[in-house]
Amino acid sequence: MDAETKRQLKREARERKRAEKAARRAAKRAGRKPSVLLQEFWNLPNMLTLGRILVIPLFVWFTYDADPWYSLMAAMLYVVASVTDIIDGYLARKWNLVTVTGKFLDPLADKLIVMAALVMMVKLGRIPAWITIVLLARELIVNGLRQIAASEGLVIAAGQEGKWKTSLQLVGIIALCTHYTHVVDFGVWKGPVNFNTVGRVCVYASTVFSILSMVNYFRAFFRVLEGRGTAATAPSEGAAGAA
């Protein structure tokens, strides 16, 4: 056997070893189960929620130009994001796809797009800065209180004021994004509508309901906390009486 043949055989042996190692690695990867986090993440409701987060830069870009066409596009994009918020929650419940990842991403997406919209409305002079400060401060306070309540095992139901706040805020932001006066045909009435005025009224009203819901949330929190304290002291008093 000459030297060239030996070198050829060695090369073929090395190539076979490499192919065998690659096959073993591929088989190991194929047999490995995806992580729990990955399994929770890759489903349609979470993809819709992630899509709401990803469209925020496009929404900001539309509002930044502030001409009638881009303002209308920003309003339409906000409507689409709001509709997907309803759809992803419905699908998650219907298909039993409520996950820890979804519970984190869904409220995060809502807060981010609302925050972006309010900040841009202040930048464009469509609402005063104090409105945005009050609304964002309320969200931080209530979310902090919810975390405390959850850590203590307390369940506090959302009040009607919070639902009114969310609805009015949604309509207000869409109207503020539209901003300009457009002719609207409601069937029974047709005429020009100043969307900026409609938006400001709705956002002001949502601010009032936002403050009321925060106050009621604090009341409910302390009421539940007081009730739990009373229930905890009752058995000890009974034990003392029996003794």
Rounded CA-CA distance 152/146 in Å is: 10
pLDDT of residue 227: 75
pLDDT of residue 114: 95
- Between these two residues, 183 and 41, which has the higher pLDDT value? 183
Q: Which residue has the tokens 């925020």?
A: 56
Strand 190-194 and strand 181-185: the pairing is antiparallel
8 A C-beta contact, residue 221 and residue 149: yes
pLDDT of residue 29: 66
Indicate whether 76 pLDDT > 70. Answer: yes
- Between these two residues, 12 and 60, which has the higher pLDDT value? 60
| % of the chain residues with pLDDT over 70 | 86
pLDDT of residue 25: 76
Rounded CA-CA distance 192/176 in Å is: 15
C-alpha Rg value of the chain to the nearest Å: 28
Per-residue pLDDT reduced to its tens digit, 42-56: 888 999 999 999 999
Three state DSSP letters for 153-220 = CCCCCCCHHHHHHHHHHHHHHHHHHHCCEEEEECCCCEEEEEHHHHHHHHHHHHHHHHHHHHHHHHHH
Count of CB atoms situated within 10 Å of the CB of 104: 13
Segment 177-194 shows an average pLDDT of: 91
Rounded CA-CA distance 92/103 in Å is: 10
pLDDT of residue 147: 83
The token pair at 57 is: 């830069």
Domain positions in the chain: 35-125, 128-231
| % of the chain residues with pLDDT over 90 | 49
The number of C-alpha atoms within 13 Å of 177 and in the hemisphere containing its C-beta is 26
- Between these two residues, 26 and 15, which has the higher pLDDT value? 15
Q: What is the mean pLDDT of the chain?
A: 85
pLDDT of residue 242: 47
pLDDT band at 243 (very low <50, low <70, confident <90, very high): very low
Indicate whether 59 pLDDT > 90. Answer: yes
